[in-house]
Amino acid sequence: MATMILEIQTRGLNQYYRLEQFPVTIGRALDNDVILSDNSVSPYHLRLEQDAEGQVFAHNLSSENGTRLNKHQLGLQPVQVPIPSQLLLGNRKLRLASTAMPVETTHVSRCGGLFAPFCQPLWAALLLLLTVVSLLLNDYLNVPVAKEPLFYISGVLPTLVWMLFATLVISGITRLFTHRWEFAPALSVVSLFNLVPMVLEEISGWLSYFLSSDAPFTWLMTGVSGFVLIPALLYVYLHWVLSQKRLPALGIALVLSALPLGLRAISVLDQVTLANEFSSEPYYHQELSSLNIHANPPLPLETYLQRAADALPSQLADE
Amino acid sequence: MSLRLLLLLATLWLGVASPSWAENSSSSIYSDVEASVYQVRVINQQTGKKTAIGSAFVVMRPDIIATNYHVVSTYINNPEGDFALDYLSTSGNTGRLELLAVDVLHDLAVLKADTPLGKPLQIAKIPPKGARLYSLGNPMDKGFSIVEGTNNGVMKSSDDNNILFSGSLNSGMSGGPTLDENKNVVGVNVATSGNGLSYLVPADYLAIILERLKLTGFQADEDIGQRITEQLKSNADKYVQNLQKREWTLQQLGRFKVPMDVTGVVRCWDNSDKPMPDNLMRSYFTQCSNESSIYLDDELEVGTLDYEYVWLDAGEMIPARFYRQYESVNVSVSASGAGKQDVTNFECFTDFTLIAGQEFKMTVCRRDYLNYIGLSDLLVTAALVGHKRQGMLFNLDMTGTTFESGMALLQRMLGDFKWQP
């Protein structure tokens, strides 16, 4: 006969008791066989007994918070317990199982290959460096006057402080799961969170100029950067760094992104509403690019004017 | 820079009415024509109160009076019947008026009363420069007055051909007559820019409307709105045709020669920023304007033509940095105050084109007037591309033109561009 195991589920690592002699008493009092120092548990809460055939019976002793066996409330009569079974003593979850029961497959760290930037410190440092350089470059390109290097550094500092704070928060939360400080993955995620929008903005500006169209900006900036980036980074972090299963990882990522995405959605909705209202200003493609690469070759002036006239008929039907 | 004229429409602003001079000739003229000068009031039918006032005078027939279009524009622009037109005589008589015709280009309106109002004034040619003129009206609703001043001739530099009158016209005198020594009307009071600098519409334009009305037996025009639209459209086309024929001065800006001033029509001003010592980029900015417009409503004027050129030099900046600045100034806005009750939204077309052999990214935007079918605003902006360290912007803003004429003018202007290698 397989040995019985009592699993007491706690955050982090579960406790296991090998049950070799019956009866077994479970409760908060210190003369129990299994002591549960949970104050929702009665001093003498449950007695497990075994009959000659090896059947296990649960005898609920608690009249306070009581016991549930596989979600059914137990009375004061002993009830036979199938193996395995879930027990709820007050608020404390326990599981009665046999040692022969197979355990879950080992979580092998999947952080490698394409996702190596999320877990290797060297990559984290590289991403941080890239982010800082991009921020500095962005500031430098935006300022049309001669400035001291210190000006640009002081411009980047607030972002760096924010990144440090975010890294600490993420690695702090991670520590609750893994019981280790995971600075490198947190720093990678925070760096990417800053770096990706900058890269996307550059790409979408270039593509918008190339196509004389707003579509790249709409898709890359509003769509990808605004709505996909946060849940995607969270998902990658949860699945590949914290080794969460796909579906729970996706669920947690979506729940955590709900607030920022909701706020973005409101602002996008506002923009759409505004775009449909009257505006005294024209809306046109203002992008300019020093590379000057565009899909359409320049038109001769007459052709251009003809196309413009064709493209802009009167907006009033009754003319 | 731009000389903004104040229309002499009362109730919109307050000021101090200048006292009229008491001279013998003035007093005799005033007493002779007093009975032919009226106040015109636009009455809100809901409240029964006047919302705008101006002056008017009896002309050609005892029951016909003339005033400015802008005095009665509230009545015209609200055709649902919310407003009515009234007259008030110097002796305090009042009555209803019927609108017969308008000339929106010269800011004139002709109205008819049910009863004879007084002795019609005669229209005469403008006397020589320096001649004494006497302007009548009811400034600020303070009572009928006469103002003496000097004729300074028809203005050559602007194309509305108004008479420059050195005398102090005030709000509420709009639409009143300006007389020569013989008590004949030579002009209609229209605007002031302060300090005794006032403007009159030559009475010849009024004579034209009256002659036309005489042929129809002084019947009111059936669709005044349609008439105004026709006047604006035909004026817009003629305006551009006239511009096409004129001599445009080509001037150097950066490495381009571009069309700038048009003698007698468009004047250009340099508006470049003063260079700062730490500025890495230099920019040269020229703005051109026809400095004139046609009044349609309190907040709506059309017939403006503005264009500007900006030449940008990157200096030592790297191209990527220069183009960030270049892109940030690549913004074109309309100077018009037209609102959603007046116009549609702008629709734009953008593509690359070659002007004087150089590549430009050019956008043409158009919006249409809701109440003047066939009139549009045209906004054009072109940015020189393909030069790593130089940029040029050309912005053109035309209001109340026909789209075809606007495009024709654009073609003419761009055709004049010359590149200096």
User: Which residue matches tokens 């600020």?
Assistant: B140
| Average pLDDT score over residue span B132-154 | 88
- Residue in chain B lying closest to A317 (CA): B373
10 Å CB burial of residue A275 (0-12, 13-18, 19+) is: exposed
Closest by CA position to B382, among listed B405, B358, B401, B398: B358
Calculate how close chain B gets to A158, using CA atoms only, in Å: 23
Whether the link from the prior residue into A84 is cis, omega within 30° of 0, is yes
> Taking CA A34 as the corner, what is the angle to CA A31 and CA A40, rounded to the nearest 5 degrees?
90
Mean pLDDT of the residues in chain A? 90
Q: Test A284 with B365 for CB contact under 8 angstroms.
A: yes
pLDDT of B160 strictly over 70: no
CB atoms within 10 A of CB B412: 14
**DSSP code, position B249:** E
Task: State the nearest Cα–Cα gap between A261 and chain B, in angstroms.
Answer: 29
Interatomic CA distance for residues A193 and A237, integer angstroms: 12
Residues in A touching B376 (Cβ below 8 Å): 314
Over residues B52-69, the pLDDT tens digits come to 999 999 999 999 999 999
Interchain contact, B352 vs A297, CB within 8 Å: yes
* Chain A residue whose CA is closest to B363: A284
Is residue A314 situated within a structural domain? no
Which residue is associated with the tokens 């290797």?
Answer: A120
Q: Which residues of B touch A303 (CB under 8 A)?
A: 353
Domain range enclosing A167: 116-276
Bond into A149 cis (ω within 30): no
What is the distance between the alpha carbons of residues A226 and A264, in angstroms, rounded to a whole number?
A: 7
Please report which residue ranges of B260-367 form alpha helices under DSSP H: 319-329
A195 contacts A218 by C-beta, under 8 angstroms: no
Residues B320, A141: C-beta atoms closer than 8 Å: yes
Coil, strand or helix at B390: strand
User: CB-based contact (8 Å) between B194 and chain A?
Assistant: no
User: Cβ B281–A290 below 8 Å, yes or no?
Assistant: no
CA distance B179 to B137: 12
CA gap B205, A166 in Å, rounded = 75
Whether residues A31 and A148 fall in one domain: no
8 Å CB contact of B365 and A314: no
Three-state SS across A173-194? HHHHHHCCCCHHHHHHHHHHHH
A66, A208: one domain: no
Cβ distance B353 to A287 less than 8 Å, yes or no, reads no
**R_g of chain B, CA atoms, integer Å:** 24
> pLDDT confidence of B2, banded at 50, 70, 90?
very low
Q: Rounded to 5 degrees, what are φ and ψ at A232?
A: -65, -45
Phi then psi for residue A291, to 5 deg, are: -75, -25
Residue A298 placed within a domain: no
Residues in B touching A140 (Cβ below 8 Å): 321
Residue B315's CB: how many other CB atoms inside 10 A? 12
- Amino acid at position B153, single letter: G
The secondary structure of residue A218, as a DSSP letter, is: I
Distance in angstroms (rounded) separating the CA atoms of residues B418 and B421? 10
Task: Round to whole Å and give the CA distance between A182 and A184.
Answer: 6
Total residues belonging to chain B: 421
Nearest to A307 among B276, B351, B370 (CB): B351
Q: Which residue of B has its CA nearest to A286?
A: B330
Q: What is the CATH number of domain B231-419?
A: 3.40.1000
Chain B closest CA to A146's CA: distance in Å? 5
Mean pLDDT of B353-371: 96
Domain count, chain A: 2
Unique residue bearing structure tokens 């066989």: A33
Say how many CB pairs under 8 Å bridge A and B: 143
> Do both A27 and A162 map to the same domain?
no
What's residue A41's pLDDT? 94
The rounded distance, in Å, linking the Cα atoms of B47 and A169 is 66
Residues of chain B with pLDDT > 70, as a percent, come to 93
Residue B196: pLDDT band (50, 70, 90) is confident
CA B141/CA B12 separation, integer angstroms? 12
- Measure the CA–CA gap between B308 and B143, rounded to whole angstroms: 46
Interface membership of B73 toward A (CB under 8 Å): no
**B3: pLDDT confidence band, cut at 50, 70 and 90?**
very low
Interface check A276 vs B, CB under 8 A: no
Do A233 and A207 share a structural domain?
yes
Architecture of domain B22-222: Beta Barrel (2.40)
Strands A34-35 and A24-27: parallel
Residue B339 pLDDT > 60: yes
The tally of CA atoms less than 13 A away on the side-chain side of residue B111 is: 36
pLDDT confidence of residue B210: 95
List the one residue out of B305, B294, B307 whose CA is nearest residue B372: B294
* Residue percentage of chain A with pLDDT more than 70: 97
For residue A198, the distance in angstroms to the closest alpha carbon of chain B comes to 14
Average pLDDT, chain B: 88
- A140 falls within a domain: yes
- pLDDT for B5: 52
CATH number of A94's domain: 2.60.200.20
B23 pLDDT higher than 50:
no
ipTM above 0.90, yes or no: no
Nearest by CB to residue A141, choosing from B276, B324, B360, is B324
| pLDDT reported for residue B158 | 55
pLDDT reading at B321 higher than 60: yes
Same domain, A120 and A266: yes
The pLDDT, as a whole number, for residue B18 is: 38
CB contact under 8 A, A212 and B352: yes
**A146 and A250 assigned to the same domain:** yes
Residue A319 sits at the chain B interface (C-beta within 8 Å): yes
Domain parsing of chain B, residue ranges: 22-222, 231-419
Contact A290 B330 (CB under 8 A): no
Instruction: Look at residue B350 and tell me whether its pLDDT is greater than 60.
Output: yes
The reply to whether omega before A297 is within 30° of 0 (cis) is no
Q: Do A65 and A152 share a domain, yes or no?
A: no
Is pLDDT above 90 for B264? Answer: no
Amino acid code (one letter) for A23: P
Query: Considering only A29-38, A175-184, A222-231, B146-155, which range has the smallest mean pLDDT?
Result: A175-184
Any CB–CB contact under 8 A between B299 and chain A? no
Using pLDDT thresholds of 50, 70 and 90, give the confidence band for residue B156.
Answer: low
Report the first-to-last Cα separation within chain A, whole angstroms.
95
Tokens linked to B320? 């990527």
Q: What is the mean pLDDT of residues A144-151?
A: 90
Cβ distance of A140 and B322 shorter than 8 Å: no
Residue of A nearest to B340 (CA): A278
Asked whether residue A64 falls in the same domain as residue A212, the answer is no
DSSP for residue B189: E
Residues of chain B numbered 382-421 and touching chain A (CB < 8 Å): 383, 385-386, 388, 391, 403-404, 407, 410-411, 414-415
Residues in chain B closer than 8 A to A212 (CB atoms)? 350-352, 361
Least confident stretch, B185-189, B219-223, B273-277: B273-277
Count of CB atoms within 10 A of residue A252's CB? 18
A12-32 per-position pLDDT tens digit: 688 899 988 889 999 999 999
CB B289 within 8 A of CB B266: yes
Name chain B contacts of A294, Cβ cutoff 8 Å: 352
B22's CB contacts (< 8 A; 6+ apart) are none
Predicted confidence at residue B76, as pLDDT, reads 92
> pLDDT tens, A52-109?
888 899 999 998 899 999 999 999 889 999 988 999 999 999 999 988 888 877 777 7
- The tokens 């009305």 sit on which residue? B213
Specify the amino acid at residue B2.
S
Give the per-residue pLDDT at A275: 87
CA–CA separation, A278 and A284 (whole Å): 15
Query: How many CB atoms within 10 Å of residue A301?
Result: 19
Instruction: Report residue A272 as tokens.
Output: 């759409």
User: Would you say B377 and B366 are in contact if contact means Cβ atoms under 8 Å apart?
Assistant: yes
Q: How many other C-beta atoms can be found within 10 angstroms of the C-beta atom of residue B193?
A: 12
pLDDT at residue A149 greater than cutoff 60: yes
B333: which chain A residues are within 8 Å (Cβ-Cβ)?
281-282
Closest residue on chain A to B374 (Cα):
A319
Q: What DSSP character marks residue A9?
A: P
- Say yes or no for a CB contact (<8 Å) between A288 and B383: yes
* A60 shares its domain with A162: no
Q: Are residues A60 and A192 in the same domain?
A: no
In this prediction, residue B288 has a pLDDT band, given cuts at 50, 70 and 90, of very high
Contact (CB<8Å) B352/A296: yes
Residue type, B244: Q
A235: in domain = yes
For residue A134, the distance in angstroms to the closest alpha carbon of chain B comes to 14
| pLDDT at residue B278, rounded to an integer | 81
Give tens-digit pLDDT for A260-274. Answer: 999 999 999 999 999
